[in-house]
Amino acid sequence: MPIISTKQMLLDAQRRKYAVPAFNIHNLETIQVVVEIANELRSPVILAATPSTVRYAGADYLLAIGNAAASRYDIPISLHLDHSEDFDYIKMCIDLGYKSVMIDASHESFGENIRKVKRVVEYAHQRGVTVEAELGCLMGQEDDIDVSQKDAMMTDPDLAKTFVEKTGIDSLAVAIGTAHGLYKSEPKLDFKRLQEIRDKVKVPLVLHGASGVPSKSVQESIKLGICKVNIATELKIPFANAVKHYFLSNPNANDPRKYLTPGKNAMKQVVIRKIKMCYSDGKAE
């Protein structure tokens, strides 16, 4: 089957109290790793691509690879445009065939965030595409979005309820203490805030910046309502380190098939751990 939207995926995760892992991918090799392991573990999976990844790989190339993967394996697979700030770029991806998008206007004022998100929702929903948005700002850098510590802020539960009602989004990314990139110390998640958001908001909730967060903390957040967990940095580092190590041992290597394979193998181990962390293994049946 072709790639699907994240709507039914996340609603199922919400109903059965697990989370769908959203792995940041960049090329054929990283997509292969994610979908092969997801298929082995029978997990639904989201291939998340930031705007810079889409520009690097080509929106049409990524879509074709995603559809090829979805045709090969009988598990739910979605290709998700992540953290896009540009309506026209989101529109282009939707028109091309992307079934899931995120409009990130979290750095804007509350009113402007609603206005921008609502515009995307109106366009996307007419075409069967699901929309994720964010309320509150995560510290750190994700693609071209860089949020300093002083500009980061937690999601307000009451505003979250209003935000969801006014925008009509399908899922909400919440700021409860995670950050994009690497952590200097163990993050402390605000579970009380998450519970308050869950009590007021009915759509599936999303945890960004999960790389480096202890598994027990992620799993506690899943128990409290998180239905999608984003993972990026923890995939890139082992992949890159394994390729570097291969070149140190094989300085004259020049065959991408050989020097990329250790990177894929290293990344596989992370994907296995994260799928099990999300309790999504076996949920594709």
Report the percentage of the chain scoring pLDDT > 70.
Answer: 92
Evaluate whether residue 138 is within a structural domain.
Answer: yes
pLDDT given for residue 1 in this prediction: 76
Q: What is the per-residue DSSP string for 104-142?
A: --TTS-HHHHHHHHHHHHHHHHTTT-EEEEEESB-BEEE
Evaluate whether residue 284 is within a structural domain.
Answer: no
Domain residues for 229?
Answer: 7-277
The total number of structural domains that make up the chain: 1
Taking the alpha carbons of 29, 34, 38, 44 in that order, is the dihedral positive or negative?
Answer: negative
Mean pLDDT calculated for residue range 110-129:
97
pLDDT given for residue 137 in this prediction: 67
pLDDT given for residue 152 in this prediction: 54
Model confidence at 149, in pLDDT bands (50, 70, 90)?
A: very low
pLDDT given for residue 2 in this prediction: 86
Q: Which residues pair with 81 in a beta bridge?
A: 49, 101
Evaluate whether residue 155 is within a structural domain.
Answer: yes
Evaluate whether residue 63 is within a structural domain.
Answer: yes
Residues 279/18, Cβ–Cβ less than 8 Å: yes
Q: Quick check: is 82 catalytic?
A: yes
Residue 200's CATH number: 3.20.20.70
pLDDT given for residue 133 in this prediction: 97
Annotated binding-site residues for Zn(2+) read 83, 104, 134, 180, 208
Model confidence over 178-209: pLDDT tens digits?
765 554 556 789 999 999 999 999 999 999 98
pLDDT given for residue 182 in this prediction: 55
Taking the alpha carbons of 49, 235, 146, 103 in that order, is the dihedral positive or negative?
Answer: positive
Evaluate whether residue 208 is within a structural domain.
Answer: yes
Comparing CA positions, the residue from 135, 159, 138 lying closest to residue 148 is 138
pLDDT given for residue 145 in this prediction: 42
Selected catalytic residue, list 82, 143, 170, 281: 82
Model confidence at 157, in pLDDT bands (50, 70, 90)?
A: very high
Annotated binding-site residues for dihydroxyacetone phosphate read 181, 209-211, 230-233
CB atoms inside a 10 Å sphere around CB 158: 10
pLDDT at 165 over 90: yes
Model confidence over 122-134: pLDDT tens digits?
999 999 999 999 9
pLDDT at 112 over 70: yes
Evaluate whether residue 133 is within a structural domain.
Answer: yes
Evaluate whether residue 49 is within a structural domain.
Answer: yes
Model confidence over 221-272: pLDDT tens digits?
999 999 999 999 999 999 999 999 999 999 999 999 999 999 999 999 999 9
Annotated binding-site residues read 83, 104, 134, 180-181, 208-211, 230-233
Evaluate whether residue 182 is within a structural domain.
Answer: yes
Model confidence over 49-99: pLDDT tens digits?
999 999 999 999 999 999 999 999 999 999 999 999 999 999 999 999 999
**Position 29, amino acid:** E
